[in-house]
Amino acid sequence: DIQMTQSPSSLSASVGDRVTITCRASQVISNSLAWYQQKPGKAPKLLLHAASILEYGVPSRFSGGGSGSDYTGTDYTLTISSLQPEDFATYYCQQYYSTPLLTFGGGTKVEIK
Amino acid sequence: EVQLVESGGGLVQRGGSLRLSCATSGFTFDNYAMHWVRQVPGKGLEWVSGIGWNSGRIGYADSVKGRFTISRDNAKHSLYLQMNSLRAEDTALYYCAKDFSPRYGYSGFDMWGQGTMVTVSS
């Protein structure tokens, strides 16, 4: 099974900060990666898929970095270019390369400094 | 408007069974794979099981394999999860989720229900 390791598990940041979250796959997943945002008491929300494709309606301050042009890397990033008050939440990565088995990362909680 | 409404959760003794249901509307149900994802309160997300649009592709997390069975009824636009031999560690909020890739896709989740809570007492 493919394991997904997110780092850090939590971070503190201020409004306006640039924030980057990393997700490392235990093997090549060829950009088959999604990112989700979850706020307390709510279901997760899909932010990006295919590592870097922004979902409709998601602000452009969110961006995703992939495994390079040859899809052979295993490290992926989610970047928030200028953190807004509504962005304080927990973020999860999820791989869909090894279907029908899907796996999430452990999550990164973004808190207010 | 897309809606996914889970039901069937509750309190059950260890070793017992429950059947979760997810009633959907607002999209062409038989065009998409569907999934169950669970979350222990205060913890992370765990994918539990998924089923392809025509029930042809089915997967289970190792933690539930052999105990849980996923199924769907395209005529009723509904998804199900039969949960047997329940353990304390199955206690969680169970979400029904729609796949974001149409037809042959089996990928991630673009629509979610609000979840149904399953509590297994020991």
**A69 pLDDT above the threshold of 90:** no
Q: What pLDDT was estimated at residue A71?
A: 64
Q: For chain A, give the percent of residues with pLDDT over 70.
A: 96
Beta-bridge mates of residue B34: B51, B98
Count of Cβ atoms closer than 10 Å to residue B108 Cβ? 27
CB contact under 8 A, B95 and A43: yes
More confident call, A100 vs A103: A103
Q: What angle do CA A105, B97, B19 make, to 5 degrees?
A: 110
Chain B residues with CB within 8 Å of chain A CB: 35, 44-47, 50, 52, 57-59, 61-62, 95, 100, 106-110, 112-115
Spatial distance between the Cα atoms of B109 and A92, rounded to a whole number of angstroms:
12
End-to-end CA distance of chain B: 40
Residue A68 pLDDT exceeds 80 = no
Whether A18 shows a pLDDT value over 80: the answer reads yes
The per-residue pLDDT for A72 is 72
**Neighbour-count burial for B54-76, b at 16+ CB within 10 Å, e otherwise:** eeeebbbbeebeeebbbebeeee
CA distances from A83 to A15, A18, A60, B116 (A): 5, 6, 12, 32
- pLDDT greater than 80 at residue A5: yes
Averaged confidence pLDDT in chain A: 94
A85 CA to chain B: closest CA distance, Å? 21
CB-CB under 8 Å, B58 with A100: yes
Would you say residue A20 has pLDDT above 80? yes
Q: What is the mean pLDDT of residues A49-68?
A: 92
For A49-58, what is each residue's pLDDT tens digit? Answer: 999 999 999 9
Q: How far apart are CA B5 and CA B74, in angstroms?
A: 15
Length, in residues, of chain A:
113
> If we measure between CA atoms, which residue out of B96, B120, B116, B100 comes closest to residue B108?
B100
Give the minimum alpha-carbon distance from A17 to chain B in angstroms, rounded to a whole number: 25
In whole angstroms, what is the distance from residue A98 CA to residue B62 CA? 14
Distance from CA of A83 to the nearest CA of B (A): 22
* pLDDT at A41 (0 to 100): 96
CA distances from B66 to A42, B36, B45 (A): 30, 16, 21
The answer on pLDDT for A70 being more than 90 is: no
* Low-confidence residues of chain B: pLDDT under 50: none
